[in-house]
Amino acid sequence: MKSKIQVVRIFSQLIFLGIWSFGIYYKFSYLILFLLGTTLIFGNFFCGWVCPFGSAQNYLGRIGSLITKKKLKMPNTVHKYLKYTRYVIFAIILLKIAPNFIYDLNGYTSFLFTAYDIIDATFILSFSNIIMITYLVIALFFDRPFCNYLCTEGVKFGLSNIPRIFSIKRNKESCVNCKFCDKKCPQNIIISSKDYVRDIQCINCMECITACPIKDTLKYQYIGWKIRKPPKQKN
């Protein structure tokens, strides 16, 4: 059952990667809106199952595993702060867009100047491509670096993860604290310390469920609306 989940996920990723490659990804905007809405109930499946750039990082990570014996992992002491960089970037984008949006509502033309007005568009496009390629190279050695620290699209899906009523649930009675789930999680979530996962970084990749050696210790299931704090773990 565990392996079947990943087979279905890979199949889904390849379909959308192919759609993106043929340049017709934009026609699926309604699907993206639908997925954003369902995230409020089922959690973020877009980043883990649909997003082409996320899939590309995922496959490059698998190739990287053949090159290096051990995958590099961002120390949690650094990651717990660094993971908010994409939210800072998202806030900056909103601050840039909001004034223009207000002007447009009133029928006026915005006279606010941004970097996009000053810097040549070709340079911006080239710079963006350099960033994307750089992150793809880094993905050979680190799990989903762009998703973790730079993707603003993932911010919307991540925040809508919070009220989800279906999620990954951990059975603390059968858990042996092997931490295989923590090591396998591409988003660096410490799953072994949670009763259930409502983390804004979660992409529902189910890698933790696949990695867990104890049957039914980690399951994707109904958890309800109530947000409860997980109990403190004993040392």
Residue 87 confidence (pLDDT): 92
Residues in the chain: 235
- Return the pLDDT at 153: 86
pLDDT of residue 99: 56
Predicted pLDDT at 92: 85
Q: Mean pLDDT of all residues in the chain?
A: 81
Q: Are 160 and 35 in contact (CB under 8 A)?
A: no
The one-letter code for the residue type at 170 is R
pLDDT of residue 179: 94
Report pLDDT for 130.
81
pTM of the predicted structure, to 2 decimals: 0.79
Read off the tokens for 204: 């529902």
Tokens of 170: 């951990």
Residues of the chain with pLDDT under 50: 101-121, 230-231, 233-235
Largest CA distance in the chain: 62
Contacts of 233 (CB under 8 A, 6+ apart): 192, 193
Locus of tokens 């568009």: 121
Q: Cα-flanking dihedrals φ and ψ of residue 227, to 5°?
A: -95, 110
pLDDT in tens, 199-208: 999 999 999 9
Q: What is the pLDDT of residue 27?
A: 60
